[in-house]
Chain A
Amino acid sequence: MLAGAVYAIFAATDPNYRTQGSIFAILEGFAFVALLGLGLSVTIIAGELDLSVGSTAAVAGIVAVYASGLGLLPSILIATCGAAVFGLLQGTAIARLQISSLVFTLGTLIGLRGLAFVIAHDATVSVSFANLAFSDTLVRRYWIFSPFSLTTLAAFLIVGTFLGYARYGREVYAIGGARNEARAAGVSVARPIVIAFTISATTAGLAGSLAALKSGAATPDAFGSSLLDAATVALVGGISLYGGRGSVYRVILGALTLRFLIAGLDSRGAQYYIESLATGALLLGVIVVEFAVEQEHAWKRARGLLAIGNRG
C-alpha cells in the first residue's frame, strides 16, 4: 500500500521513472536488499534479531569471487553453503547458550567484518578477466527481471511456503509471538532458532555472492549499511518487532517501497547521503507508526472489554 503510494508520487513527477528500463533497474537494486530483508525478517518473526547479515554477505561475496574460477553456479553454491553452515553454527550457539541473539550477532557482525578484511587482504578482490562472462549471465534481462531478481523471488516462495505450511516453519512463528507459552506447549525452542538463523545467513550469503559476481568484484567493507536497509525493508513490510507476526511476502513490498524511494531520490539528483537520511527517516517513521497503531488497537480492545464488563 505504501509502496504503491511512493511509486505513484515519483512516477507522477518524473517521466524517466516510469520506463521499463528503470523498473528493471529498480528490481535489480531490489533483489539484494529484499533477499537480506527476507532472512532478517525470519529472525525477527522468531523474536530474535540477526545483526550480522551485512557482514555475512560481505564474506560470502569475497568467497564467491575467490571461487569464481570454478564456474558461476559452483561459486555461488560454495559461498551460500558456507554461509548456511555459519548460520547453523550461530543459531545452535544462540539456542544452546540461551544467550541474547543481539549480543551474539553483534559479536559476529564485528568478527565477520574482520574476517572479510583478512581473507581479502584488505583489498578489493576481482574476478579474473577470463571469468568475467559471469556478469553477463547475471545481468541478462528477461523482460523486467534478471536471474538475480528471479532467484530472490524464488527464495521468497521457498521460505514463505516453509514458514506458512511446514511444522518447523510454524514453530518459528510460535516462539516469536509467545515464547513462554510455546515452550509450555512443548514446542522446541532450539530448533526454530537454529532454523531461523540458518535461513538468515543463507539468504545473506546468497545475496552477497550474487551481488559480488554480478559486479565482478568484492570489497571487504561492502554492505556496511545493509543491516539498516534490511531492517527497514522488513519493518516496512509489516514484520512486527514484537515477533510472531507478519508475512514474508510483504517484505517484497517493503523492499519495493524502499527501492522506489531511493530510485526516485536518485533520479532527482540527490546526493548519496540523502539515501541515508531517507532510509533512516523511513525506518523511524514505520516503527513509530506501527507502535501508535498497536497502542490504538490495545486501547480499543481495552475499551471493548470495559464495555462488556459494564453491560454485565
Chain B
Amino acid sequence: MTDVPPATDSPRVGGESVVPPRNKLLLLEPRQFVPPAVVTIAVLILLVAGGFTTPGFLTADNALLIIRTTSLTGIAAIGMTFITLSGAFFSLSVEQTAIICAIVYALALSHGFGLLAALLVTAAVAVLVGAIQGGIVAAGINPIVTTLGAGAALYGLASVLSDNQLVKTGTSSASWIGQGKPLGVPTQSWAFILLWIASVVVLKKTGFGRRVMLVGANPDAAQASGISVGFVKFSAFVISAGAAGIVAVFITSQFEQASVLQFGDINIDAIAAVLVGGTALQGGEGSTTRTVLGALFIALLGNYMLLQNYGYGVRLLVTGVMVTGATSLFHVLRTRSQ
C-alpha cells in the first residue's frame, strides 16, 4: 500500500508545495499554533481573574474537583475529536451511548457477572452502538441527523432495558475504578491523561491517524489515493462510542448505580470542548491537545461560574456564546489567512 503523504493543516496548492519536506513537517506552521495559543491564554486569564476575585478557586480541593470534571468530559471530547477530524462534524448521541453503556454495565454487575465480564459486555455494546452509527455515516448519510435519531432510539432502548428505574450494581467490587486515587490522582484523570497521550500518538504517528486527518481535510484526495473514507469515519464513531463507554464505566463504578437520567450535559460539553479548543468543524485540522485545552477551559469556566453562584442558565448561556464566538473567531482567522 502506498504511503500517504502526511497531511498538513491545509493541503492547498497555489504557492506552496502540497507535500512539505519531511523535516519541516511537524514543526513550524505558525498558523496551527493560533487556536491553542488563544485557548491557553484564555485559560491563564481565567485562572488569574478567578484567583483574584473568587475565594476558593485556587484551592487544592477545588483543583481536584476541576480535574475530575475535566477528565470525564475530556475523555468524551477526545473521542468526539476523532469524529470531527474525520469530517463527520460531531455526534449528538454521546450522552445516550454513555447511558446505555452505564445501564448495561450496571445490569451485568447486578446479575452477578464478574467485573471483567461486565466490562467486556459493556465494551461490546459500545462498539456495536458506534459501529451501527458509523456504518450509516460511512455509507454517506448526514452524521448529525443520524446521531440525532440514534440517540433518541438509544435513550428509549436504555429506558426499556432499565425499566426506567435506577439500576444498582449491587456490588462494591468495581468501586475502585470510580473512587480510586492512585498516587493521589483520581483514576478518571489517569485515564484522561493516558487517552490523551494515546490519541496524540495515534493521530500524529500512525498511518490510521494520518488517514483520519487526510479524510477530513480532503476526502476526494483521500478517496483517490485509495483510502476508504467510509472506513475511517466508521472507526471514528467506534472510537467515540468507546470513549463514551469508558466514561459510563467510571461514573457507574463511582456511584454504584446507573439510570437513564445521567450524562445530561456531556454532549454539549464535549462538543464545546472540541470547538472551543479550535479543531475545525469541517475536519482535517486540529488535534486532541486542542480539545484537552478546550475541555480544561470549559471546566474552569463552569467552576468559576459555579463558585460565583451563577445559575445553570447563565452557565449554559455563556457556554453557548463561547461556542459561537470561538468558532466564528477561528473561522474568520482561518479564512483570512488564505
Contact = CB atoms under 8 A, between A and B. Distances in A.
A24 to B, nearest CB: 27
Interface stretch (B52-60, B144-152, B169-177, B212-220): B144-152
Contacts of A228: 148-149, 151-152
Of A98, A103, A122, A228, chain B has the most CB atoms within 10 Å of the CB of A103
B157 interface: yes
A166 to B, nearest CB: 28
Given A107-B323, A283-B148, A284-B136, A277 B160 contact: yes
A104 B148 CA distance: 17
A274 interface: yes
A112 B287 CA distance: 29
Nearest to A288: B136
Contact of B317 (A106, A111, A241, A284): A111
Given A104-B324, A111-B320, A118-B314, A287 B146 contact: yes
A118 B312 CA distance: 8
Interface in A15-70: 49, 51
B140 interface: yes
A149 interface: no
Contact of A107 (B154, B164, B324): B324
B14 interface: no
A110 B312 contact: no
B217 to A, nearest CB: 15
Chain A contact surface mostly: helix
A104 B325 CA distance: 9
Contact of B318 (A108, A114, A279, A282): A114
B111 to A, nearest CB: 22
Interface in B129-175: 136, 139-142, 144-146, 148-157, 159-160, 164
From B145, B312, B321, residue with most partner A Cβ within 10 Å: B145
A225 interface: yes
B140 A291 contact: yes
B77 interface: no
B282 A100 contact: yes
Contacts of B319: 110-111, 114
A271 interface: yes
A71 to B, nearest CB: 28
Interface string B270-301: 01100100000110000000000000000000
Given A241-B142, A277-B157, A114 B320 contact: yes
Nearest to B159: A273
Given A114-B316, A114-B317, A275-B156, A280 B149 contact: yes
A157 interface: no
A235 B160 CA distance: 26
B144 A107 contact: no
B21 interface: no
Given A111-B317, A118-B314, A273-B155, A284 B149 contact: yes
A75 interface: no
A106 B155 CA distance: 21
A281 B321 CA distance: 32
A231 interface: yes
B68 interface: no
A120 B311 CA distance: 11
A85 interface: no
Interface in A215-234: 220, 225, 227-228, 231-232
A138 interface: no
B136 A117 contact: no
A114 B281 CA distance: 23
A283 B145 CA distance: 8
Interface stretch (B115-123, B185-193, B328-336): B328-336
Given A98-B335, A284-B136, A291-B139, A118 B149 contact: no
A115 interface: yes
B93 to A, nearest CB: 9
Contacts of A273: 155-156, 159-160, 164, 260
B328 A99 contact: yes
Contacts of B140: 291
A214 interface: no
Contacts of B38: none
Contacts of A220: 313
B141 A114 contact: no
Contacts of B89: 102
12 contacts: A98-B331, A102-B89, A103-B323, A107-B322, A107-B323, A111-B317, A113-B316, A274-B160, A277-B157, A280-B156, A283-B152, A284-B136
Which 6 pairs across A and B sit closest by C-beta, in order of nearness? A111-B320, A277-B156, A117-B313, A114-B316, A107-B324, A114-B317
Given A107-B320, A284-B136, 19 more contacts: A102-B281, A107-B323, A107-B327, A108-B324, A111-B321, A111-B323, A113-B320, A114-B312, A116-B313, A117-B316, A122-B312, A225-B152, A231-B145, A277-B153, A281-B153, A283-B149, A284-B150, A287-B142, A288-B136
Interface of B: 89-90, 136, 139-142, 144-146, 148-157, 159-160, 164, 260, 268, 271-272, 275, 281-282, 311-325, 327-328, 331-332, 335
